[in-house]
Structure 1
Amino acid sequence: MGDELLRLDGVSVQYGHGETSVTALTGVDLTVSRGELVAVMGASGSGKSTLLTVAGGLRTPTSGEVVVEGHYLSQLSARQIATLRRRSLGFVFQDFNLIPSLTALENVSLPLELDGLPLRRAKRPALDALAVVGLADRADRYPSDLSGGQQQRVAIARAVVGGRSLVLADEPTGALDSTTGEAVLRMLRSRVDAGAGGILVTHDARHAAWADRIVFLRDGRIVDDAQPTPITALLDGVGR
């Protein structure tokens, strides 16, 4: 699978100094290619969310390199990293992180506006993204008028609007019922199949089965990197 979108080379993250220091990640090597969805599993505190924030340029690793679409983040300024995030990376969170005072359309178009696109031009790709997740008819609704599943689909539309190449999802189905959660995963899978890449952090083996690969973290280290088929056996001792 070619077209590498993300590479982590020997990434370690340490919080604090001396005796009070905590190591969140140790020597993590990971690649994500176009058309590939990678699930990340592990017990609470294993480093899953830290891995996601490092991959998305939201946190600088203590050591190692993060490469996004060929760009070494260590060689970019804070402004350049912010621009790369807006143009290439989409984030999906468990609690949606929609702005309550903005409609679904305005929430989805906001990243494009922040990148300098006038509102009148940002609306079209935002509407297209909402149509992909089946919510074009809810474009003028506020988050409070939408169900949890609809809000998460708006969040996915926001994550992929403008053709962003890498989607980073942190427990995106954690607050949803099983039927709605499956619909959200189907949307994410569809976007990846259309040419994006993705990382899905999850505790649920059934959700991880939507991925092409499953990476297991324990105490900040990758302890297994496997195809979805043997997932039940691999979960033993790793935590859910």
Structure 2
Amino acid sequence: MSGLVLRLTDVERVYRAGEVSVRALAGISLNVRAGELVAVMGPSGSGKSTLLSIAGGLDTPTAGSVEVEGVELGGLGPTEVAHLRRDRIGYVFQDYNLVTDLTAAENVALPLELGGTGTRAARKAAVSALDEVGLSTVADRFPDQLSGGQQQRVAIARALVGQRRLVLADEPTGALDSQTSIAVLRVLRARIDAGAAGVLVTHEARYAGWADRTIFLRDGRLVDATSERDDPQHLLSESS
């Protein structure tokens, strides 16, 4: 299908510990197109983070299939999956995951350099990505010299640098104040509008409002969805 970046088809994920089985996802199907941001909401333990990990190839489904730009991840070896994640998929996590002994620019440039880009070209792209999130002036500072909001924006720059076609964000505003959260979401929205596809996990209906549509998970199942014309607040009232 034209413009389709992410396709999940009947995805299930079962975790087993001895004789105990926990079904984290049950029959999830989801398509996300270029230029589209999908918010994922639901109570704790509903499968939101598991969905994001499977969509990005960090975890594998027990059943079903995952495709990124028409490439089925289940048909790739570990090295090929790692290369696809590095080159096409950007991750933004609540805990930043920055390398503490690298500067902001070096953190952002790291995936490019791992992919074979020269140091000078990678730094130029990194500084450009930092400028996009309003942080070009802190390019040479280390993470412990940055505020939490600045660290999160560095993480977003790292997720967006290069030709990332799929951006996955897991509670990227969870530790931020409202003003910084809006700045983070504005950057994410701009990249989606420029042609990437995005999935945003959030507990906040006001932040889900930045998405084109919202899906709601409960007990690993897709139980509701809204379009951009709907108010995702009703999902919270229905789940209470």
State if a TM-score over 0.5 links the two structures: yes
Question: 1:145 Cα shift?
Answer: 1.1
After TM superposition, the structure 1 = structure 2 runs for residues 71-220 of structure 1, keeping only pairs within 5 Å, are: 71-220=71-220
User: Secondary structure at the residue paired with 1:21?
Assistant: strand
1:118 deviates by 2.1
Q: Indicate the residue corresponding to 2:232 in structure 1.
A: 231
Is 1:42 aligned to 2:42, yes or no?
yes
Query: How far apart, in 2, do the equivalents of 1:128 and 1:216 lie?
Result: 35
SS of residue matched to 1:237: helix
Partner AA of 1:232 in structure 2: Q
Deviations along 1:116-167, one digit per CA (max 9) or x if unpaired, are 2221221111111111111111100111111111111111100010120111
* Partner-residue secondary structure (3-state), 1:186: helix
Q: Which amino acid counterpart does residue 237 of structure 2 have in structure 1?
A: D
Tell me if structure 2 keeps the 8 A contact 1:166–1:197: yes
Unaligned runs of 5+ in 2: none
Query: TM-score if structure 2 supplies the norm length?
Result: 0.96
Instruction: Name the CA distance, whole Å, in 2 between partners of 1:34 and 1:149.
Output: 27
Shift of 1:234: 2.4
Q: Give the SS at the match of 2:238.
A: coil
Provide the TM-score with structure 1 as the length reference: 0.96
In 1, Cα distance between equivalents of 2:97 and 2:239: 29
Amino acid at match of 1:35: G
Alignment coverage as a number of residue pairs? 239
Pairwise CA distance, 1:17: 6.2
Preserved contact between residue 209 and residue 231 of structure 2 (Cα < 8 Å)? no
Paired with 1:99 and 1:182, the residues of 2 have a C-alpha distance of 25
Kept after mapping to 1: 8 A contact 2:9/2:65: yes
Letter in 1 for 2:106: E
